[in-house]
Amino acid sequence: MLLLAVLYSLLWIAIAGYDLKSVFFGVLAVGSALFVHITLGLYPPRINPIALFEFLGVFLWQALLGGIDVAKRIISPQLKVNPGFVVYNFQSEKLWVKILLALTINLTPGTLSVVIEDKQVLVHTLDVESYNEESVRSLERLLDRVFS
């Protein structure tokens, strides 16, 4: 439970920043999330910390590249935007991997998980032609290792 609290806290700080107001709301958010975990019995499986750090590194790199791509599209009107939907088929059977992959897709600039089903997720992307399924697949493989 302590590891989960630390992971939630680090995630909160990475997203919201580290100032007094953010920390206050972070304590509330992390406490609420832990309460839900305990109440509903939603305990994640064993976590491989080395794979977790590898996943975070790859995710942050992909998020940075996605942010740069979105910024280029905003600044350069000649770069085309071809929004649309793509279906990503999960390879993993692990529920935690599917949930976290869908959330990871939401955190990557230019993409949004719209509908999550048992075997697939519907993803909205800014440019259907530049959507890279292999980058999502690599994140799924890393998440699979995190929960092995």
Summarize pLDDT for 56-109 with one digit per residue, the tens.
Answer: 999 999 999 989 988 988 898 787 889 999 999 999 999 889 999 999 999 888
Same domain (yes/no): 66, 123: yes
Residue 10: closest CA among 65, 47, 62: 47
| Residues 35, 22 within the same domain | yes
User: Are 64 and 15 within one domain?
Assistant: no
d(CA 118, CA 125) in angstroms, rounded, equals: 21
Domain interval for residue 2: 1-43
Q: Are 80 and 140 in a shared domain?
A: yes
Same structural domain for residues 74 and 138?
yes
> Could you tell me if 36 and 86 lie in one domain?
no
Positions of E strands within 15-148: 84-89, 111-116, 120-125
* Confidence band for 146, pLDDT divided at 50, 70 and 90: very high
Residues 95 and 76 in one domain: yes
Let me know whether 36 and 61 are in one domain. Answer: no
pTM of the model: 0.70
pLDDT at 42 exceeding the cut of 70: no
Q: 126 and 91, same structural domain?
A: yes
Kindly state the percentage of the chain with pLDDT values over 70: 97
Residues 26 and 68 in one domain: no
Residue recorded with tokens 């975990």? 37
76-91 exposure pattern, b = at least 16 Cβ within 10 A, e = fewer: eeeeeeeeeeeebebe
- Number of structural domains (the chain) is 2
pLDDT in the model for residue 43? 65
Q: For residues 86 and 78, is the Cβ–Cβ distance under 8 A?
A: no
Specify whether 78 is located in the same domain as 108. Answer: yes
Assess whether 56 and 98 both reside in one domain: yes
